[in-house]
Amino acid sequence: MLEVKHLTFHPLENGEEISIIEDISFTVEEGGMLVITGPNGGGKSTLVKLLMGMEKPTAGKIYYKNTNGTAASARTAPLCCEAISGTNACRHQKNGTISCSS
């Protein structure tokens, strides 16, 4: 199960805080699926980066299998990969991104 509670992300841009993700919550049960759609710049990729631990949320919690993954890092990315793609075969790219393979 993947559970996101009150997730918020307000990074600094040119010294000013901007709101990208504001207080979102959802649960995806094991074997379930969630589809996120939206316009360019709507925060979809940022949400995935938060789930993968590539960005740190301003507020809120991310739980995977009842474990707090909010402070996720490269070592916890395979758990998020498994939640997102059904596999834990993650590859750490030279540009700092993490990709999942099935």
H or E, element range at 83: helix 77-85
pLDDT of residue 81: 55
62: domain range? 2-101
pLDDT digits (tens, 9 = 90+) for 41-99: 999 999 989 988 889 999 999 888 776 665 444 445 555 555 555 555 555 555 555 55
Where b means 16+ CB within 10 Å and e means fewer, 43-55 reads beebbebbbbbbb
- Total structural domains in the chain? 1
Query: First CA to last CA across the chain, in angstroms?
Result: 19
Alpha carbon 10 to chain centroid, angstroms? 14
Task: State residue 94's pLDDT score.
Answer: 54
- CATH number where 90 lies: 3.40.50.300
Residue 63 pLDDT: 87
* 7-39: pLDDT as tens digits: 999 999 999 999 999 999 999 988 888 888 999
